[in-house]
Amino acid sequence: MLVRQFCKYWIKCKRCFGGNQYYICFIEAVFATFATTQFDFRMIRKYLHHTLIALVFMLGLIAMQSCERINQHKEDGLQMATDYCLMQSELASIIELADEMGDQTAGKGTPPEFILGAFGKTTSVIISDSTYFDGDGIEFEINFGPNTLPLSENQRGYDGKYRSGKMHIKIQSHYQEKTSKLELEIDKSDNFWMGINPNQPKNIAISCSVIRQDSKTHNVTIESLDFFGKNTITLKGSAQLVKLTSSNPGIIGNKYQILGNGVLMESDHDELTWEVVQPLIKNVVPGCSSEYVNGMVLLKDSDKSTTTLDYDPFENESCDRIVRVTIAGKSTDITLD
């Protein structure tokens, strides 16, 4: 553009002055071009101003998208932490049920009648193998009633949780013996539902085994614990349950702790690892047996980002069902239901 402007004024000047007055035409053309270029610079500044505004807008948009991704990551992390807490809670309750039933068995096999008062009035037991003497252990099914919502008050158990559906228990040898193995199975077809809210119980399946190390210590292998929500979430791992008090048979009425680790998988998310870094403590007494009252868990994703779950954020071992979830330094208190 500058060359074109200069040539235009150079030709115009030659026509006016004629002859060999090249230097006059040159100076005239330069000044004329310079004067015109002032306008061009203003235009350039205008264009640069608009470009700068667009650039700032684009950077702001990128920043907003980054914030949205970060917020989405935190929301996903918070939801996964909540799901883990619920699964860990249900795992504990299922093991409590199995241990309570196992402690009612005798050296010969199943008792004449199981005591089921702690599990809800609709609960019944069907025994398929009652004796150890046939060489293949004992086996029975616990039926907690229909899964019609809302679940009935008659399906409300000792811990305030409602249950429906079935679970299957097999015990290899007398449950009071060391190394006795209890196998627990709940298939998806068993329609097992459990939760504090009778209108919104959680659908769960599990395959796990419990080996008694001694009267107070149980080693638990979790082959799979599936939570069927919007997506299927699967928890696997191992844990050790230690009774801190054991004044009563089974778990109910006692206090115990759990340590363990494993993995947590969701269908459309990365795999997480979980580890109990401070023992999860549960006091299985009326009004306080639905959730842990102390302990800490770490969740880590493939990027080594850590989520901390604190079951006693107020340091009072309260039965408030509050867990403090900390993601990227930001803490949020959730109430488990």
Q: What is the pLDDT of residues 244-259, one digit of tens each?
A: 886 666 677 788 999 9
pLDDT of res. 215 = 81
pLDDT of res. 105 = 92
Residues 88 and 197 in one domain: yes
Domain boundary among 68, 83, 103: 68
Residues 13 and 109 in one domain: no
Residues 320 and 221 in one domain: yes
The predicted-structure confidence for 220-246, as pLDDT tens digits, reads as follows 999 999 999 888 999 999 999 998 886
pLDDT of res. 248 = 62
Flag whether pLDDT at 162 surpasses 70: yes
Q: Bigger pLDDT: 183 or 97?
A: 183
Going by pLDDT thresholds of 50, 70 and 90, the confidence category of residue 172 is very high
Closest CA relative to residue 237, chosen from 265, 214, 268, 278: 265
Per the structure, the count of domains in the chain is: 2
Q: What is the domain range of residue 195? A: 70-335
- In whole angstroms, what is the distance from residue 256 CA to residue 321 CA? 17
Its pTM stands at 0.76
What's the average model confidence in pLDDT over 92-115? 90
Residues 139 and 222 in one domain: yes
pLDDT of res. 32 = 53
Domain boundary among 47, 68, 89: 68
pLDDT of res. 266 = 87
Q: CA distances (Å), 161 to each of 195, 199, 320, in order?
A: 5, 12, 15
Residues 6 and 121 in one domain: no
- In whole angstroms, what is the distance from residue 74 CA to residue 327 CA? 7
Q: What contacts 69, CB < 8 A, 6 or more positions away? A: none
What's the average model confidence in pLDDT over 45-68? 56
Flag whether pLDDT at 193 surpasses 60: yes
Residues 29 and 49 in one domain: yes
Q: What contacts 106, CB < 8 A, 6 or more positions away? A: 174
Which of 149-153, 164-168, 176-180 is predicted with the least confidence, judged by mean pLDDT? Answer: 176-180
Percent of the chain with pLDDT over 70: 75
Going by pLDDT thresholds of 50, 70 and 90, the confidence category of residue 325 is very high
Rg (CA), the chain: 36
Residues 283 and 168 in one domain: yes
- In whole angstroms, what is the distance from residue 111 CA to residue 176 CA? 14
Residues 45 and 123 in one domain: no
Residues 119 and 20 in one domain: no
Residues 110 and 226 in one domain: yes
Residues 89 and 118 in one domain: yes
Residues 178 and 86 in one domain: yes
Q: Bigger pLDDT: 16 or 114?
A: 114
